[in-house]
Amino acid sequence: MSITAFIGIGSNLGSAKKNCEQAIEHLQNTKCIRLLATSSFYTTAPIGVTEQNWFVNAVVKISTTYNPQELLDNLLSIEKEMGRKARKKWGPREIDLDILFYDQQILSTDSLKIPHPELSHRRFVLEPLNELAPDWNHPQLNKTSGQLLAELPPGQEVNRYSD
């Protein structure tokens, strides 16, 4: 059975936009994943560790027959193939791929939490997610992505990417 999922994509090392585009290509070429839609790219101020390059972020909507752990394993494999190295939390990264939603499932294991626990607080996720799916309902908060975006406090600078 095919499931709809949303994946957050981000990079702030090297050619960040190109890294994001390459990650999307990897997703397109992964068996059991079909790319349904891609948001615009956004430049975003770093959160947490602010003394680093700005990020380029996007969200993709996919259809997959992978279960959540298999999907995560594939995302981690793409990150590794693209040269991601372990660094401090919220630090710079070559590529970051996060499962935001996996249909309406709620899951909490040591390695995976769905929906992504921070997404409702992050403009850099909600802006591109809202572009793709403004009416997507958060299964724990029972609010749409549009509502979550509207409720964010000011701050967290996010701009549509322009070449």
Q: Is 96 a catalytic residue?
A: yes
Q: What is the dihedral of CA 18, 58, 131, 102, to 10 degrees?
A: 130
Q: What is the CATH number of the domain that holds 7?
A: 3.30.70.560
Domain total of the chain: 1
Name the active-site residue from 34, 73, 87, 93. 93
Q: Is 135 a catalytic residue?
A: no
C-alpha 88/C-alpha 105 separation (Å) is 29
**This prediction's pTM:** 0.94
Quick one: pLDDT at residue 88? 65
Name the active-site residue from 34, 84, 87, 163. 84
Quick one: pLDDT at residue 87? 62
- Under the banding of pLDDT at 50, 70 and 90, the label for residue 156 is confident
Name the active-site residue from 34, 73, 98, 103. 98
What's the DSSP call for residue 135? T
C-alpha distances in Å from residue 150, one per residue of 26, 37, 80, 100, 134: 32, 22, 35, 18, 11
Range of the domain at 52: 3-160
Closest of 47, 57, 55, 46 to residue 23, by C-alpha = 57
Residues 20-78 have pLDDT tens digits of 999 999 999 999 999 999 999 999 988 877 788 999 999 999 999 999 999 999 999 99
Q: Is 98 a catalytic residue?
A: yes
